[in-house]
């Protein structure tokens, strides 16, 4: 079953169960996937990887919105964003632990032979395909920066 079909089936189940948070979150995710499919010069069917990227982008929006609401003292809205984020995370690959991420970064540094901050681009280029949606880009960049400075 494709990721898109899984989203659609789970949305139907959430509708039947009258789970409002899950229903609205999955509707939003399906809308984002549909928008991505019709973006550009011609419509196309997204692959599972592309659907995962769309869901990851939506999850990042929820994470950032929750942080912004916390900063503004709007805890009820932050909690709502986190609830939506929890639903979206069910459709994403399991995130890498800090130790696993550090190990991947160390491997990439030894592969590329990068030294100092000048080699950050090389290391990021080597690490990104290995991480592939299992860690946020900011987290990866922070790990690379820390490894190169340390």
Kindly tell me the sign of the dihedral angle through the C-alpha atoms of 5, 57, 27, 87.
positive
Q: Crossing angle of helices 137-149/120-131, nearest 10°?
A: 140
Return d(Cα 14, Cα 28) in angstroms, integer. 13
Return d(Cα 128, Cα 12) in angstroms, integer. 34
Report pLDDT digits (tens) over 59-78: 989 999 999 999 999 999 99
Q: Crossing angle of helices 75-89/48-71, nearest 10°?
A: 160
Report pLDDT digits (tens) over 77-98: 999 999 999 999 998 888 888 8
Note whether 75 and 82 are within 8 A (CB): no
pTM above 0.85, yes or no: no
């Amino acid at each position: 079953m494709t990721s898109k079909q899984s989203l659609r089936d789970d949305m139907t189940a959430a509708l039947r169960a009258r789970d409002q948070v899950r229903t609205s979150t999955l509707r939003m995710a399906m809308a984002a996937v549909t928008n991505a499919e019709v973006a550009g010069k011609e419509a196309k069917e997204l692959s599972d990887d592309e659907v995962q990227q769309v869901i990851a982008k939506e999850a990042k929006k929820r994470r950032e919105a929750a942080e912004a609401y916390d900063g503004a003292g709007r805890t009820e809205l932050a909690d709502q964003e986190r609830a939506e984020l929890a639903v979206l995370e069910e459709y994403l690959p399991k995130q890498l632990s800090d130790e696993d991420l550090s190990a991947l970064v160390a491997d990439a540094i030894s592969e590329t032979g990068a030294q100092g901050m000048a080699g950050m681009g090389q290391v990021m280029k080597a690490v990104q395909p290995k991480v592939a949606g299992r860690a946020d880009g900011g987290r990866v960049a922070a790990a690379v920066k820390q490894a190169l400075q340390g």
